[in-house]
Amino acid sequence: MAKETTNGGSGAQPERRKQPKLLTRVVKGLGHWLGPETPTGKAFVAAEKGMTKAFDKLGSNERYLNLVGGVLNRALRTRKAYVEAQENWLHLLRLPTSTEMDDLREEVRDVKNQIEALSSQLELVVEALEKGRREGQGVEVGRTNTNGSATTGRPS
């Protein structure tokens, strides 16, 4: 089940570490160039902080949130109307609609759950029958053992 870890040392690693690949050097260089210890990086971090602050401010601005919410809601309602029109059209053509498919799926799920509940009840019945059978056997053994055996005959 556990997957094999491929990170870490293979035989070729020390060789590669001495001379990193071009891609590794480019990636590291980019990270270093925009890192907090270089002048470019310091400027980048300052810009990042500024932008984060601006986005945070925007994200908590009531007017902006109402505006975005309004646009989103309009888009969703338009899509809802489109879906309804599509369903009406399919209905006219006597083709199954998405809602009807969902109804069908729900019924199938209900049937599955019902089967599961029934099988659980059946298991209980089988267990009870099994217990009863064992008890019956125990009594039989007990009866046999009264003729001299040391077994108590109590069902397990």
Q: How far apart are CA 26 and CA 44, in angstroms?
A: 18
Q: What is the pattern of x (binds other proteins, CB under 8 A) and - over residues 84-123? A: --------------x--xx--xx--x--xx--x---x---
Specify the residue, 80 or 91, whose C-beta has the smaller distance to other proteins.
80
CA distance 149 to 155: 16
| Beta strands, E only, 25-131 | none
Which one of residues 43, 46, 57, 83 is an interface residue with other proteins (CB under 8 A)? 83
Nearer to other proteins, 21 or 94 (CB): 21
Q: Does residue 107 contact residue 117 with C-beta atoms inside 8 Å?
A: no
Residue position matching structure tokens 């690949």? 21
148 torsion bin: left (phi>0), alpha (psi -120 to 50), beta (else): left
Binding residues for other proteins, per CB under 8 A? 1-8, 13, 16-17, 20-21, 23-24, 26-28, 30-32, 34-35, 48, 51-52, 55, 59-60, 65-66, 68-70, 72-73, 76-77, 79-80, 82-83, 98, 101-102, 105-106, 109, 112-113, 116, 120
